[in-house]
């Protein structure tokens, strides 16, 4: 079963993708992880991608789709996979559909985690980090002492990309580039909206219910 996980920044795509992948026994794929693996292993595609990343440039769609093709042709993807946070533009969506078609595959479900703009900003701007790597959130996962890490007593800080201003910029980019994809998958009849405001376990329950319902109807795993 091939599943695409969609949603605004901080909607929970990574978390829910991991839950689904573990439950179904299929890989959780993110293009960022693929790039990092190829760069770390010095593959030809990784070396090419590194040229762009080192310059702070976006990796071209053609290179991204090629690196994704290599990943989904691996043996562990023969029964499907969960694709996290990709595609992000209409061009990427069209390239992905064409690539999957060439591989004799197609997307079974596109799961859209729905959250309001206000919730996205709250989730992003409420993040706090410690130099030891421990992460917190001032509302959903606060430290025991304000602005102090529970593990090392270090002072918590806000990352540069976790401010309200950056959150709003990311939202604007998402609406312009990524939201149109939702309409495409809706027209294809494979889109499922999930309320992303609920507690994490409830969101997972809803996602898995929809997958089970689809699987029972289609006879896929």
Where in the sequence numbering do the catalytic residues fall?
13, 88, 127, 159, 170
Q: Which two tokens stand for residue 106?
A: 């197609």
Residue found by looking up tokens 């109807």 in the block: 217
Q: What is the phi-psi region of residue 69: left when phi exceeds 0, alpha when psi lies from -120 to 50, beta otherwise? A: alpha
Q: Which two tokens stand for residue 11?
A: 């909607």
Residue positions counted in the chain: 221
The span from the CA of 111 to the CA of 104, in Å, is: 21
The span from the CA of 107 to the CA of 100, in Å, is: 8
Please state the φ and ψ torsions of residue 87, each to the nearest 5 degrees. Answer: -80, 160
**In the chain, what are the helix, strand and coil shares in percent, each to the nearest 5?**
55, 15, 30
The DSSP code for 114 is E
Nearest CA among 86, 84, 51 for reference residue 65: 86
Q: Which two tokens stand for residue 154?
A: 């270090």
């Amino acid at each position: 079963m091939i599943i695409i996980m969609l949603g605004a920044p901080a909607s929970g795509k990574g978390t829910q993708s991991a839950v689904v992948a573990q439950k179904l026994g299929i890989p959780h794929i993110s293009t960022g992880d693929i790039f990092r693996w190829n760069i770390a292993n010095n593959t030809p595609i990784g070396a090419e991608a590194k040229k762009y990343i080192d310059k702070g440039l976006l990796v071209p769609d053609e290179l991204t789709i090629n690196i994704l093709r290599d990943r989904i042709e691996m043996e562990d993807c023969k029964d499907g996979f969960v694709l996290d946070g990709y595609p992000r533009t209409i061009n990427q969506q069209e390239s992905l559909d064409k690539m999957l078609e060439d591989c004799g595959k197609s997307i079974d479900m596109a799961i859209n985690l729905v959250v309001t703009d206000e919730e996205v900003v709250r989730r992003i701007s409420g993040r706090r980090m410690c130099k030891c790597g421990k992460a917190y959130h001032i509302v959903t996962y606060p430290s025991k002492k304000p602005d102090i890490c529970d593990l090392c007593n270090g002072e918590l800080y806000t990352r540069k990309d976790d401010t309200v201003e950056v959150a709003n910029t990311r939202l604007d980019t998402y609406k312009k580039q990524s939201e149109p994809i939702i309409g495409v998958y809706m027209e294809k009849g494979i889109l499922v909206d999930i309320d992303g405001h609920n507690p994490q376990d409830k969101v997972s329950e809803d996602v898995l219910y929809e997958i089970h319902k689809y699987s029972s109807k289609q006879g896929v795993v």
